[in-house]
Structure 1
Amino acid sequence: MAESSYDLCVVGVVAETADAHSVSFAVPEGAEEEFGYRPGQFLTLAVPSDLTGVAARCYSLSSSPHDGGPLTVTVKRTPGGYASNWICDHLREGSTIRSLPPSGIFSPADLDADLLLFAGGSGITPIMSITRTALAHGSGRIVLFYANRDERSVIFGPELAALASAHPHRLLVVHWLESVQGLPTQEQLKAFTEPFTTYDAFVCGPAPFMKLTIAALRELEFPRERRHQEKFVSLGGNPFGDPEQRAEAEHELEEADSDEAFTEGPAPADGAHQGSVRLEVELDGQTYVFDDWAPTTKLIEHLESKGVRAPYSCREGECSACAIRLLEGEVKMLNNDVLDEEDLADGIRLACQSLPVTDVVRATYH
């Protein structure tokens, strides 16, 4: 929402490759807590657009939250992609751009764990954040499989070499170049993975690469809790909003003639609960309990009405920033463009799209 967005000032731009730029931002004074982040999270940026006013796009942070460096995203140009090309062409030191605070669940729960990281192309961005942070503040071993089209496409190549040299007993980096080895197959990924089946796996990259990698992990019976993948979806809605337009709409609603539709509110969705629901949610080590969750109110909206600062990004069911895991009860999601059947079976739901179905709902944020 607009009230939670901030104007970030660009403090540096680095050309990582011919078509990928790292853009660093200064955190606004007084917003340090809001912009604290975990390795692997992302920013949602408001890219100006003549057609829609704002093109909201999510870009992973490549920086580490613990080394004192600036907040940094790494953006690779997408052929025909408006937002990525605008960022690479227009953002310079001294520029400003609006952003939501960091969000996302693609982050290790334990930096001391052994990590098996798979990156394809620009999927190295959150993987780099995880690698930098785990090496500096963890104790486990890290194995990175990094696939690219050719040597010129490798983002962070010199830094990865330097990190592997500085941590020879903890970091192993394996580069896979399509120009040399062809595209990796599921069997090749499986063979690479076999020695590391006790590690926690993180996968990020183009959809075909992630599909093959996850299939290889499943074939090796990696448990669901040790398999993580980042999913990129272009946001269709505008999570930033426009304060003036929203205030005007609220004023018009107040001035409108009252009728049955307004006085009774929206009808519950099919399968939604018909009365108030008891809600228990764990977030950042604190448990919130409410007995008045209305059946027509989305979970995140109810939490916000109670003053709970729950994470979100798109609010359209198109990303996983607001993901929760159900511990008891059930909810109905109005829209879901990001969770697959395995996620749903594992109890994961999107708070921004969830209406209550049962008398009691207990959940924890991922």
Structure 2
Amino acid sequence: MGRDHGFHPVRITRIIQETPDTRTYVLDAPFPYRAGQFVTIKACGTLRSYSMSSSPETDTEFMTTVKRVPGGLVSNWMHDHLAPGDVVETTLPAGVFCLREGEEAGGAGEIATPVVAFCGGSGITPILSLAKSALAGTGRPVRVLAADRDARSVIFADALDELAERYPDRFAVRHHLDDRQGFLTADQVRKFAGGDTDADFYLCGPAPFMELVENALLTHGITPERIFVERFAQTADPPPEAAPEQEGTLTLVLSGKPHTLAQRSGETFLECARRAGLAPPFSCEAGNCATCIAQVTAGEAKMRVNNALDEDEVAEGWVLTCQGEPTTPHVTVVYED
């Protein structure tokens, strides 16, 4: 394989309390990464993906930021139990919520493509990483609209103020507080976008927030290829309703043990495995992180979405099982031990 999609032990060097319910974990992790990417953490028998708040262009430390989620298994465990010196298991950084290459800007007579970002709550995490890299590594102007419940909930307020002071001509942030201004509206989104219809737009936050912003931008004349959305949930079109009868068979090898399952039409390998009561690895379910990677050793398959594997890996038969579907009556899929 061209990349290592396994888990690696990394030590927490320090913890920063950003807000009452948000902490940044500084990790002793010498991983190369791009601004806007995330790592997947293995804890409590499950997996969760968290974005980096650090930037490879500006920070010497590797940082990921975690907001406590009511009822959240991993976020609550991390907040309640982890301390400096503890070790956690993470994947290598992954994800495509990154600055477009070739937009460094800055040649004589050239106008830098603006970066315009909308974030809700902890969605500021990858946006901060992107902003720091764009400002330090390119000539691009950056504008951020950060929506939060109230002033106490604003994450990275000081870091954003520092960027505004350091780059007064290229960086601007607007804080939208729900308790004072009500929920963000489509008109406010379009007003913030203004005339920058050729900018690159980055969206991260709760699903209803991103849906509102994305639809507002599209009606404002922004083309879809200019809109980049970070989702840690299924993004593919829903599959057709599964037929009750068996459509084929899937032999799934998990921890070295083969399981032969009835594969239904329109069902991914991961869905088939979970329906049978198995618990293979997965995280984002959006085709972004490669946590669910396995190799097709017999039969053929296709993927609905692939934002994690390169062409050589696909040619070798590797597949994202959260996105993989059979194209032959029988398929054998082997997970890494």
SS at match of 1:168: coil
- Return closer, same or farther for 1:209/1:3 CA change in 2, 3 Å cut-off: closer
Q: Which secondary structure does the structure 1 equivalent of 2:164 belong to? A: helix
Counterpart for residue 98 of structure 1:
89
Cα gap change, 1:14 to 1:187, in 2 (>3 Å)? same
Shift of the alpha carbon at 1:172? 0.8
Q: What is the CA–CA distance in structure 2 between the aligned matches of 1:109 and 1:322, rounded to whole Å?
A: 21
Q: Which amino acid aligns with 1:170?
A: R
Checking the alignment, whether the CA contact within 8 Å between 2:114 and 2:200 is kept in structure 1 is yes
Alpha-carbon distance change, 4 to 190 in structure 1, aligned in 2, over 3 angstroms? same
Gaps (5+ residues) in structure 1? 235-245, 254-260, 272-295, 299-312, 324-329, 339-349, 359-366
**C-alpha separation between the residues in 2 aligned to 1:331 and 1:37?**
30
Query: How much does 1:109 deviate?
Result: 1.3
**Cα offset, 1:297, TM superposition:** 10
Supply the AA of the counterpart residue of 2:162.
Answer: A
Tell me the TM-score normalized by structure 2.
0.71
Number of the residue aligned with 2:42:
46
Deviation at 1:180, TM superposition (A): 1.2
Partner of 2:313: none
Does residue 73 of structure 2 align to residue 82 of structure 1? yes
Equivalent in the alignment of 2:137:
137
| 1-structure distance, mates of 2:7, 2:42 | 9
Give the TM-score taking structure 1 as reference length: 0.65
- Cα distance change of structure 1 residues 87 and 297 upon mapping to structure 2, 3 Å threshold: closer
Q: How far 1:165 sits from its partner (Å)? A: 1.1
1:180-191 correspondence runs (5 A):
180-191=180-191
Aligned partners of 2:40 and 2:283 also within 8 Å? no
Look up the match of 2:170.
170
User: Who is 1:37 aligned against?
Assistant: 33
Q: What residue in structure 2 maps to residue 230 of structure 1?
A: 230
Please give the secondary structure, in 1, of the residue aligned with 2:58.
coil
- Deviations, residues 262-306 of structure 1 (Å, cap 9, x unaligned): 8xxx899869xxxxxxxxxxxxxxxxxxxxxxxx999xxxxxxxx
Task: Let me know the Cα RMSD of the aligned residues.
Answer: 3.5
Q: Which residue of 1 aligns with 2:277?
A: none
Q: Would the aligned equivalents of 2:231 and 2:286 in 1 still touch at CA under 8 Å? A: no
Identity of aligned residues (%): 35
User: Aligned residues, how many?
Assistant: 269
Partner secondary structure for residue 195 of structure 1: coil
SS in 2 for 1:201: strand
Kindly provide the CA deviation profile for residues 56-110 of structure 1, in whole angstroms up to 9, marking residues without a partner as x.
0000100002234221111111111121111112221101000111111111113
**In the alignment, which residue of structure 2 is the partner of 1:281?**
none
Q: Does the 8 Å CA contact 1:231/1:319 hold for their aligned counterparts?
A: no
Please give the alpha-carbon distance, in whole angstroms, between the structure 1 residues aligned to 2:233 and 2:264. 25
Runs of 5+ consecutive residues of structure 2 not aligned to the other structure: 105-112, 235-251, 271-280, 292-299, 308-318, 329-337
Q: Give the equivalent residue in structure 1 for 2:54.
A: 63
